[in-house]
Structure 1
Amino acid sequence: MNLLFVHQNMPGQYRELVNWLARRGGHQIVFLTQRRNAPELDGVRTVVYRAHHEAAQDGYGLSKVWEDAAGAGVGAALAVRQLEAETGFKPDIVIGHAGWGELTFLKDVWPDVPVIGFFEYYYNLTGGLVGFDPEDPVSDHAGFFARARNVVPTMNIESVDIGQCPTVWQRDRFPASFHDRLYVCHDGIRTDRLSPDPDVSLALGRLDRPLTRDDEIVTYVARNLERTRGFHILMRALPRILEERPRARILIVGGNETSYGETSTHPGGLRGEMEAELGDRVDWDRVHILGRVPYADFCRIVRLGRCHIYLTMPFVLSWSLLEAMSMQATVVASDVAPVREVMTHGKTGLLVDFFDPDALAAQVIEVLARPADFAELGAAARAHVVSEYDFETRCLPVHLSKINDLVPARLRLDLPG
């Protein structure tokens, strides 16, 4: 089969699916992306395209999202048209992210080629990011901006044959009129690779010996240290955690940018803002802010922790939560709807009020003080992820079935198992 994958930041949600298809052999796989430093994947041809147009920085705010998406869509369409002219490649199916506009005009190039789109988030004025945080009050124009952002998925639902949402909560952010066109299935977690390791260790530059599972380690991971992922709440919980647990160390992973929501006005970003707010109330010698780390180091850090903190506003669920659960971490997480979909308080993890750093601190302290009393949570969390989110046994068969529904019988993929 000829497959075209499309994602602005290759490989994105398609890492496992693309690699699985490439390993099977017999397919011609092309990946279209804007990412100039895209990883080289065995058996996959990478095609880097440029947006045909980008909105001006001082452009009209309500139209900039669509202007960028239209430029990305035209750029993608021109790129695949050129690819076909030069190589003869025409896909039997297109699978791509619908959020940035790349899929918008592909049917104009190939009207007869089926498209599966990834639909990640739809902005509403209730139940999600907008209006959740009292420190970021809703403006009179919030509704205008939410509707403007939703132009892209609204147009792309008509540009695909079917769409995918990774969770029920994310599906339900979209209008009911979308639901018959969306199937719910997570991208999938490699639980076969993400298991606990009692012998894990990690060397840090300012320590004279590697950290091990015998140490009292708290971990926190996010792409960026930002409000949407509760970094400010974590930081406000640190003084009490470090005071009551004098041997504890906090390992924090994440960049100092903003992916979602409000950007800090502090010159040092939200990290600098919180360090200034906390001052000498924190023993900074026991706080290790590691920035972004390679995936293997992320896994070592999570496996090392006695307690893993996952905080998020009601928003897209991070892969890192399910990965931490797969590695049998004892997770303390924010009690919001997308987390409750995958975690049950007292059974597979511990949930606390997002806005209560004292409650977060108290729960973490309890786990650190009595780890054996909470060990069953990690085991149950792993069992749940294996059962519901494992890539090969749970998610892959669903995705392959959706592909098979759209291609001729002669091209259908064999399902695993």
Structure 2
Amino acid sequence: MNFLFVHQNMPGQYRELVQWLAATGEHRIVFLTQRQKPPKFEGVQTVIYKPHHKPKTDAYGLSKVWEEATGAGFAAAIAARKLDVEHGFKPDIVIGHVGWGELTFFKQVWPDVPIIGFFEYYYRLYGGPVNFDPEEPVNEHTPFLLQARNATPLANLPVIDRGLSPTYWQRDCFPEEFHDKIYVCHDGVRTDQLTPDAGASLTLGRLDWPITRDDEIVTYMARNLERMRGFHQFMRALPGILEARPNARVLVIGGNEVSYGAKSKQPGGLRAEMEAEVGDRVDWDRVHFLGQVPFESYKSIIRLSRCHIYLTMPFVLSWSLLESMSMGATIVAADVAPVREAMTHGKTGLLVDFFDPDALAAQVIEVLERPQEFAHLGKAARDHVVREYDFLTKCLPRHLEEINALVPEEKRIVLP
């Protein structure tokens, strides 16, 4: 079968699916992306395109996102037509993310080619990150900006033949008229590769010895250290944790940029802002900011963690939560709807109020004091992820079922 994947930041949600399809050796796979240095997957042809147009920095706010989406969508369509005309490639199916407009004009290129579109998030005035944190107040223009921001998924609903959302919470953020067209299935977690490891160790530049599971390690991870992922609440919990546990060390993974929401006004970003707020109440010698680390290092860090903290506003569920569960971590997480879909308090993890750093600290301290009493949570968390989110046994069959429903019978993929 001929597959065309489309995602501005290859591979996005398709890391496992693309590699599995390529490994069969039975398909021609092209990946269309804006990413200038995308990862190289054997058996996958990467095509890089540049947006046809980008809005100016001071472009009109209500149309700026749509202007950028149409610029990306038109360029992607031109690149697709070039694949057809110049290289003789016509896909049997197109699979891509609708959020940046890349799929918007694909039916102008191939009216008869089915499209599965990834519907990640629909912005709402209530029930998501907007209007959630009092420290990030909205203004009278917010409802208009959110509605305008949703123009892209609204325009893509009639374009795609089938939609996909990774969780029910994300699907249900969209208007009800979307729901019948969107199936729910996570990207999938390679639980066969993300396993617990009692022998995990890591060498830190500041220490003369490797840390292991014998050490009292607390971990926090986010792509970037930002409010959307509760970094400010995590930092407010640190003084209590470190005071109560004098042997604890805290390992923090994440960059200092902003993926979601507004930037901190403090020079040095939110990290600098929060360091100034908690000040000398934290023993900084025991806090290690590691930045964005290689995937193998990240796995070692989670595997040796005695207590892993996952915080988020009600928003897109991070891959790291399910990955940490798969590696058997004892997790203290924010008690918000998307997390509750994946984790049950007292059974597969521990949930705390996002806005109560004292409660967060108390729960982490309890885990550090009596780790054996909470060890069953990590095993149960892994069992749950294996059962509900495993790529090979759960998610892959579901995705192939949806793909097969849109292509001719002779093209359908049969699992070995």
Correspondence list, 1:295-306, <5 A: 295-306=295-306
Q: Which residue is equivalent to 2:158?
A: 158
Q: Which residue number corresponds to residue 147 of structure 1?
A: 147
Taking the aligned partners of 1:190 and 1:278, their CA distance within structure 2 comes to 38
Give the equivalent residue in structure 2 for 1:55. Answer: 55
Amino acid at match of 1:260: Y
Distance 1:84 1:45 in 2: 14
State the 1:308 CA deviation. Answer: 0.3
In 1, the alpha carbon distance for the partners of 2:290 and 2:107 equals 44
Any idea what SS the aligned residue of 2:382 has?
helix
Equivalent-residue separation in structure 2 for 1:70 and 1:127 (angstroms): 28
Whole-angstrom CA distance in 2 between matches of 1:126 and 1:19 = 38
Query: 1:11-64: CA deviations, max 9, x gaps?
Result: 010000000000001110000000011011100000000100001100001111
Aligned-pair CA distance for 1:389: 0.3
Shift in Å, 1:317:
0.2
CA distance in structure 1 between the aligned counterparts of 2:364 and 2:408, rounded to whole angstroms:
53
TM-score by length of 1: 0.99
Per the normalisation by structure 2, the TM-score is 0.99
Name the structure 1 match of 2:192.
192
Which amino acid in the other structure matches residue 221 of structure 2?
V
Q: Deviations over 1:47-96 (max 9, x none)?
A: 00010000110000111100000000000000111121221000000000
**Aligned with 1:341: secondary structure?**
helix
Shift of residue 415 of structure 1?
A: 2.6
After TM superposition, list the pairs within 5 Å mapping 1:14-93 onto structure 2: 14-93=14-93
| Partner in structure 1 of residue 127 of structure 2 | 127
Distance in 1 separating the partners of 2:254 and 2:276: 19
Equivalent residue for 1:365?
Answer: 365
Is residue 2:279 matched to residue 1:279? Answer: yes
Q: Which amino acid aligns with 1:193?
A: Q
Partner of 1:382: 382
Q: Which runs of 5+ in 1 are unaligned?
A: none
* Residue in structure 1 matched with residue 113 of structure 2 by the alignment: 113
Give the 5 Å matches for 1:331-370: 331-370=331-370
**Residue 172 of structure 1 aligns with which residue?**
172
Superposed counterparts of 1:283-322, under 5 Å:
283-322=283-322
Q: Deviations over 1:224-278 (max 9, x none)?
A: 0000000000000000100000000000000101111121011100001011111
Letter in 1 for 2:299: C
1:401 and 2:401 correspond: yes
What does residue range 260-279 of structure 1 map to in structure 2 within 5 Å? Answer: 260-279=260-279
Letter in 2 for 1:357: P
Question: 1:134-175 CA distances to partner (integer Å, 9 max, x unpaired)?
Answer: 001121111001101100000011110000000000000000
**1:188-225 deviations in Å (ceiling 9; x for gaps):** 00000011000000000010100000000001110000
Deviation digits for residues 285-304 of structure 1 (CA, Å, limit 9, x no counterpart): 00001000111111111001
Structure-2 separation of matches of 1:223 and 1:244: 28
Secondary structure of the residue aligned to 1:163 is: strand
Structure 2 distance, partners of 1:390, 1:26, is 23
Report the 3-state secondary structure (helix = DSSP H, G, I; strand = E; otherwise coil) of the residue aligned with 1:296.
helix
Mark the runs of 5 or more structure 2 residues left unpaired by the alignment: none
Counterpart of 1:296 in structure 2: which amino acid?
Answer: E
Paired residue total = 416
**Partners of 1:214 and 1:360 in 2: CA distance:** 23
Q: Which amino acid aligns with 2:101?
A: G
Report the AA paired with residue 45 of structure 1. Answer: Q
After TM superposition, give the deviation of residue 379 of structure 1 in Å.
Answer: 0.4
| Runs of at least 4 residues off by over 4 Å | none
Q: Structure 2: which amino acid aligns with 1:259?
A: S
- Give the Cα–Cα distance (whole angstroms) in 1 for the partners of residues 2 and 181 of structure 2: 24
2:218 — aligned with what? 218
